[in-house]
Amino acid sequence: MSEPMPRPVRVRSAVPPCIVVTGPTAAGKTTLAFALAERFPCRLISVDSAQVYRGLDVGTAKPTAEELRAHPHDLIDIREPEDVYSAAEFVADAQRCIAGAHAAGRLPVLVGGTTMYLNALRYGLDPLPPADPALRAALTAEAERIGWAAMHARLAELDAEAARRIRASDPQRILRALEIHGLTGRPPTQLWTGRGPDRMQDSLMLIVSPADRSELHARIDRRWSTMLAQGLLDEVAALLERPGLDPDGPVMRAVGYRQSLECLRGEYDRSTLVARGAAATRRLAKRQLTALRQWAGGRWYDPLNASSIDRIIRRTGRFAERVGG
């Protein structure tokens, strides 16, 4: 095991210096994080909104139990599928893990592609009211009666700009926007102050993605074949047997799980599942790339370029020396 960094870290930004390994789904983030952990004294911290849940293993491409023993991750398997985990909770948990890494003389390495979490950590969160379980339950019950399209139309009447920003196919964000309006009586966009100051100026941002988009799509296709061979449909069937799990809740709306649920319900066959699941995953990757292109200071690497890993290792070494003193 690598020895801890010997010198104290210099903190000049709100979030102590860390390494971020991010990129679109299936780009090779986990492989890179393992390579860093084998060469440097790292503490790996997951940035994945689905891997926080126990039992969501195959469909999230979660590291295997053997891999996690070799390379432990914080913030994996910390919630039951019936629970809700928010961006605010992630920020608090990630900051605690980052501080703990520095206290132990290790490099905090944030690895994952949930850009909403990364943006919340980097730029902060708007001062919004906390979730109200009773109001959420009432809104969810109404959505079950009239449909999320109608709820999105209601949001458009209350706050046209919020409805423009939120897709009609995103029930979780529709619910939150309507909840904010119900709690404050104000349009949500009046409370969304936008991006705050950069809280991670001293961090190293590594973005991995094949330069050729067709190569990324091929990786996504291969991942779907692998997930089905590893038992994705069995995993989803087991989740549906949990008495407290809402089949239409946030967990089952995650990419891969929603399509598998529709297949199990008989809406289409296994071959169609592969096509629909891969298409949904490509759309997710496109959204992730769009968000990451807006990141200042991100250093892009093509995982298919033979020189990329050596360049990343050298840059990480220089970063480790800098934050060590």
**Helix (H), strand (E) counts: the chain:** 14, 6
Number of domains within the chain: 2
What is the spatial distance between Cα 136 and Cα 64, in angstroms, rounded to a whole number?
A: 35
The pLDDT of residue 116 is above 70:
yes
Sequence-separated (6 or more) residues with CB below 8 Å from residue 269: 263
> Looking at the structure, do residues 207 and 319 belong to the same domain, yes or no?
yes
Lowest-pLDDT range of 7-16, 208-217, 230-239: 7-16
Of 191, 214, 235, which closes a domain? 191
207: exposed, middle or buried (C-beta count within 10 Å: 0-12, 13-18, 19+)? buried
> Looking at the structure, do residues 108 and 208 belong to the same domain, yes or no?
yes
Residue 9: pLDDT band (50, 70, 90) is very low
> Looking at the structure, do residues 165 and 210 belong to the same domain, yes or no?
no
pLDDT attached to residue 314: 96
Q: What is the domain extent for residue 139?
A: 133-191
Q: Is residue 11 part of a domain?
A: no
> Looking at the structure, do residues 115 and 261 belong to the same domain, yes or no?
yes
How far is the CA of 309 from the CAs of 25, 284, 293, 302, in angstroms?
Answer: 18, 25, 21, 9
> Looking at the structure, do residues 278 and 201 belong to the same domain, yes or no?
yes
Lowest-pLDDT range of 100-114, 126-140, 199-213, 308-322: 126-140
For residue 311, the SS3 value is helix
- Identify each DSSP E strand in the chain by its residue range: 19-22, 42-46, 73-74, 107-111, 204-208, 299-301
Residue 1: pLDDT band (50, 70, 90) is very low
- Is the separation of the CB atoms in 39 and 120 below 8 Å? no
Q: Is residue 2 part of a domain?
A: no
- Is the separation of the CB atoms in 25 and 210 below 8 Å? no
SS3 content of the chain, % helix, strand, coil (to 5): 50, 10, 40
Query: Which pLDDT tens digit goes with each residue over 266-294?
Result: 999 988 999 999 999 999 999 999 999 99
What is the spatial distance between Cα 172 and Cα 167, in angstroms, rounded to a whole number?
A: 10
Of 147, 176, 191, which closes a domain? 191
What is the spatial distance between Cα 84 and Cα 76, in angstroms, rounded to a whole number?
A: 14
Of 148, 172, 191, which closes a domain? 191
- Is the separation of the CB atoms in 21 and 313 below 8 Å? no
Task: Count other Cβ atoms within 10 Å, centred on residue 2.
Answer: 12
pLDDT attached to residue 325: 47
Q: Residue 259 maps to which CATH number? A: 3.40.50.300
> Looking at the structure, do residues 212 and 294 belong to the same domain, yes or no?
yes
> Looking at the structure, do residues 165 and 142 belong to the same domain, yes or no?
yes
Query: Which pLDDT tens digit goes with each residue over 22-75?
Result: 999 999 999 999 999 999 999 999 999 999 999 999 999 999 999 999 999 999
> Looking at the structure, do residues 223 and 292 belong to the same domain, yes or no?
yes
Burial of 44-68, coded b for 16+ CB within 10 Å and e otherwise, reads: bbbbbbbbbbebbbbbbbbbeeeee
Taking alpha carbons only, the member of 119, 129, 117 closest to residue 190 is 129
Q: Is residue 157 part of a domain?
A: yes
What is the spatial distance between Cα 115 and Cα 22, in angstroms, rounded to a whole number?
A: 8
Q: Is residue 205 part of a domain?
A: yes
The pLDDT of residue 6 is above 60:
no
Q: Is residue 24 part of a domain?
A: yes
pLDDT above 90 coverage of the chain, percent: 78
Q: Is residue 23 part of a domain?
A: yes
Q: Is residue 13 part of a domain?
A: no
> Looking at the structure, do residues 221 and 255 belong to the same domain, yes or no?
yes
At which residue do the structure tokens 């023993």 appear? 69
> Looking at the structure, do residues 181 and 49 belong to the same domain, yes or no?
no
> Looking at the structure, do residues 178 and 207 belong to the same domain, yes or no?
no
For residue 101, the SS3 value is helix
> Looking at the structure, do residues 119 and 206 belong to the same domain, yes or no?
yes
Phi, psi (5° rounding) for residue 110? -85, 125
Q: Residue 163 maps to which CATH number? A: 1.10.20.140
Q: Is residue 1 part of a domain?
A: no
